[in-house]
A and B are shown apart, each in its own frame.
Chain A
Amino acid sequence: MFELIGIPPQALFGQLLLGLINGAFYSMLSLGLAVIFGLLNVINFTHGAQYMMGAFVAWMLLNWLGIPYWGALLLAPIIVAAFGMVLERLLLRRLYHLDHLYGLLLTFGLALIVEGLFRKAFGSSGLPYENPIPGGQRLPFMFLPNYRAWVVVASLIVCLGTWYMIERTKLGSYLRAATEKPELVQAFGINVPRMITLTYGFGVGLAALAGVMAAPIYNVNPTMGSNLIIVVFAVVVIGGMGSIMGSIVTGFTLGLIEGLTKVFYPEASSTVIFIIMAIVLMIKPAGLFGTPK
Chain B
Amino acid sequence: MQIKTLFATTAIVLAAGAAQAQVSDGVIKLGVLNDQSGLYADVSGPGGTWAARKAVADSGIEKRGFKVEVVFGDHQNKPDIGSNIARQWYDVDKVDAIVDVPTSSVALAINQITKEKNKVFIGSGPATSDLTGPACSPNTAHWTYDTWALANGTGKAIVQTGGKSWYFVTADYAFGHALERDTGNVVKANGGTVVGAVRHPFPGTDFSSFLLQAQASKAQIVAFANAGGDTINSIKQAAEFGIVEGGQKLAGMLMFITDVHSLGLKTAQGLNFTTAWYWDANDNNRAFAKEFAAANGGKMPTMVHAGIYSGVIHYLKAVEALKSDADGVKVVDKMKEMPSDDKLFGKGTLRKDGRHVHDMYLVEVKKPGESKYAWDYLTVKKTIPAAEAFRPMAEGNCPLVK
Q: A interface vs B, CB < 8 Å?
A: 8, 10-11, 14-15, 18-19, 21-22, 116, 119-121, 123-128, 130-131, 134-136, 142-143, 145, 147-148, 216-219, 221, 223-224, 227-228, 259, 262-263, 266-267, 269-271
- Whether the pair B200, A147 counts as a contact (CB closer than 8 A) is no
Interfacial residues of chain B within 365-392, with CB under 8 A of chain A in the complex: none
State whether A15 touches B232 (Cβ < 8 A).
no
Is B38 a contact of A125 with CB atoms below 8 Å?
no
Cβ contact of B42, chosen from A121, A123, A148, A228, cutoff 8 A: A123
- Chain A binder among B92-100, B118-126, B236-244, B313-321: B236-244
Q: Which residues of B contact A127 (CB under 8 A)?
A: 262
Interface centre among A134, A135, A148, A223 (most CB of B within 10 A): A223
Is the Cβ of B240 less than 8 Å from the Cβ of A125? Answer: no
Which B residues touch A120, using CB under 8 A? Answer: 297
**Residues from chain B with Cβ under 8 Å of A131 in the complex:** 239-240
> What is the minimal beta-carbon distance from A52 to any residue of chain B, in angstroms?
12
Stretch at the interface among B153-161, B184-192, B211-219: B211-219
A-B contact pairs, 27 of them (CB 8 A): A8-B216, A11-B212, A14-B212, A14-B216, A22-B206, A22-B208, A119-B37, A124-B38, A124-B40, A124-B42, A125-B41, A125-B228, A125-B259, A128-B236, A128-B267, A131-B239, A135-B242, A147-B240, A148-B208, A216-B240, A221-B262, A223-B38, A223-B229, A224-B205, A259-B209, A266-B210, A269-B209
Residues of A within 8 A of B263 (CB): 128
Residue among A147, A224, A267 making CB contact with B199, cutoff 8 Å:
A267
B172, A267: Cβ atoms under 8 Å?
yes
With A123-B41, A266-B199, A270-B201 already in contact, the answer to whether A11 and B213 are too (CB < 8 A) is: yes
User: Nearest 10 CB-CB pairs, A to B?
Assistant: A128-B264, A270-B201, A124-B41, A262-B209, A125-B42, A125-B262, A126-B262, A125-B258, A219-B232, A145-B240
**In the complex, residue of chain A having the shortest beta-carbon distance to the beta carbon of B264:** A128
Is A269 within 8 A of B38, CB to CB? Answer: no
Pick the residue among B40, B209, B229, B261 that contacts A266 (CB under 8 A). B209
CB contact list, B226-282 vs A, under 8 A: 228-229, 232-233, 236-237, 239-242, 246, 258-259, 261-264, 266-267
Which of A11, A221, A262 has the largest number of chain B CB atoms within 10 A? Answer: A262
A143 touches B215 (CB 8 A): yes
Q: B375 CB to closest chain A CB, in angstroms?
A: 13
Interface residues on B, range: 35 or more
- A148 contacts across to B, CB distance below 8 A: 208, 240
Say if the beta carbon of B198 comes within 8 Å of chain A.
yes
Can you name 10 extra interface pairs (CB under 8 A) apart from A128-B236, A223-B39? A14-B216, A15-B212, A19-B209, A119-B41, A125-B39, A125-B259, A136-B242, A217-B206, A266-B199, A269-B201
Contacts of B79 in A (CB 8 A): none
Q: For the complex, is B82 an interface residue (Cβ under 8 Å from A)?
A: no
> How far is B263's CA from A216's CA once the two chains are assembled, in angstroms?
11
Q: CA–CA, A121 to B39, complex, Å?
A: 15
Inter-chain CA distance A259–B232, complex, in Å, is: 21
Contacts known (A125-B229, A126-B262, A143-B246); A266 close to B206, Cβ less than 8 A: no
| Residue of A18, A19, A123 with highest tally of chain B CB at under 10 A | A123
Residue from the set B40, B209, B210, B216 with the largest chain A CB neighbour count within 10 Å: B209
A228 touches B205 (CB 8 A): yes
Known: A123-B299, A124-B39, A259-B209. A217 touches B261 (CB 8 A): no
Residue on A with the closest CB to B216?
A11
Query: How far apart are the CA atoms of A14 and B241 in the complex, in Å?
Result: 12
Q: Given the interface contacts A143-B242, A145-B242, does A15 sit within 8 Å of B37 by beta carbon?
A: no
A116 / chain B contacts, CB cutoff of 8 Å: 37
B301 within 8 A of A: no
By beta carbon, the residue of chain B nearest A271 is B201
B348 at the interface (CB under 8 A from A): no
Q: Which residues of chain A have C-beta atoms less than 8 A from B241's C-beta?
A: 136, 143, 145
**B396 on interface, CB distance cutoff 8 Å:** no
Q: Please, which residue of chain B has its CB at the minimum distance from the CB of A19?
A: B209
- For residue B43, CB closer than 8 A to chain A, the reply is yes
CB contacts (< 8 Å) of B209 on chain A: these are 15, 18-19, 259, 262-263, 266, 269
A218-B233 contact given A15-B212, A145-B242, A224-B205, CB 8 Å threshold = yes
| Cα(A228)–Cα(B233), bound, Å | 14
- The smallest C-beta distance from A264 to any residue of chain B, in angstroms, reads 11
B240 x A270 contact (CB < 8 A): no
Contacts of A121 on B, CB cut-off 8 Å?
A: 297
Task: Identify which of B45, B229, B237, B297 contacts A126 (C-beta below 8 A).
Answer: B229
- In the complex, what residues of A have CB within 8 A of residue B204's CB? 270
B contact residues around A143 at 8 Å (CB) = 215, 241-242, 246
Once A217-B237, A223-B38 are accepted as A-B contacts, the answer to whether A263 and B205 lie under 8 Å apart by CB is: no
Chain A CB within 8 A of B26 CB: no
A123 touches B210 (CB 8 A): no
Chain A residue nearest to B302 (CB atoms) is A125
Which A residues touch B40, using CB under 8 A?
Answer: 124
Q: Say how far A254's CB is from chain B's closest CB, in angstroms.
A: 13
Asked if A219 and B229 sit within 8 Å, CB to CB, the answer is yes
The residue in chain B whose Cβ has the minimal distance to the Cβ of A146 is B240
* Residue numbers in A under 8 Å from B236 (CB-CB): 128, 217-219
Q: Give chain B nearest CB distance to A25 CB in angstroms.
A: 9
Known: A125-B261, A267-B201, A269-B201. A219 touches B233 (CB 8 A): yes
Say whether B208 contacts A21, CB under 8 Å.
yes
Binary A-proximity of B343-371 (CB < 8 A = 1, otherwise 0): 00000000000000000000000000000
B273 to chain A, nearest CB (A): 15
Contact status A263-B213, CB under 8 Å = yes
A11 — which chain B residues lie within 8 A by C-beta?
212-213, 216
* Nearest residue, chain B, Cβ from A116: B37
A124 near B45: Cβ-Cβ < 8 Å? yes
**B264 — which chain A residues lie within 8 A by C-beta?**
128, 130
**Docked pose: A148 CA to B236 CA in angstroms:** 13
Task: Point out the residues of chain B lying under 8 angstroms from A267, CB to CB.
Answer: 172, 199, 201
Complex Cα spacing A279 to B357, Å: 52
Q: Shortest Cβ distance from B214 into chain A, in angstroms?
A: 12
In the complex, chain A residues whose CB is within 8 Å of the CB of B41: 119, 123-125
Query: Roughly how many angstroms separate A128 CA and B263 CA in the complex, as a whole number?
Result: 5
